[in-house]
């Protein structure tokens, strides 16, 4: 102990610098570890966000495809209904023409009366 005190008294500046260097190194090491941990946390967060975005995109694509299929099915149904409606109109029109032709041949006076009633024409001979 007797030799230690004169040594400390003579080299106290170097010892203080060494202690300060150790303290600064320790705090730098802690700061570095904090930065590394923060970086790792942000990387994990970004990876989670990317995963969630990919899942969301996948769900949205599936919904889009389902909506497109539903649309196509409805369009096919509408086209079928329209085709059936057109065929019915052609059939009704054909029947009506045949009825009017038959009426003209069998009873022209009744045809004249129907035309006058429907179109408000007056028949002149």
Q: What's residue 1's pLDDT? A: 66
Q: How far is CA 117 from CA 63, 112, 113, 114, in A?
A: 57, 9, 6, 5
**This prediction's pTM:** 0.53
Q: How far apart are the first and last CA of the chain?
A: 151
**Domain regions of the chain by residue span:** 9-119
pLDDT in tens, 52-80: 999 999 999 999 999 999 999 999 999 99
């Amino acid at each position: 102990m007797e030799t230690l005190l004169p040594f400390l008294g003579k080299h106290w500046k170097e010892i203080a610098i060494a202690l300060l260097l150790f303290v600064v190194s320790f705090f730098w090491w802690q700061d570095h570890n904090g930065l590394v941990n923060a970086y790792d946390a942000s990387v994990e967060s970004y990876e989670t966000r990317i995963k969630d975005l990919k899942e969301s995109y996948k769900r949205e694509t599936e919904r889009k495809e389902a909506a497109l299929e539903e649309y196509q099915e409805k369009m096919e149904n509408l086209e079928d209904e329209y085709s059936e409606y057109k065929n019915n109109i052609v059939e009704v029109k054909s029947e009506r023409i045949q009825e009017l032709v038959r009426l003209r041949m069998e009873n022209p006076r009744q045809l004249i009366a129907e035309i006058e009633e429907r179109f408000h024409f007056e028949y002149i001979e």
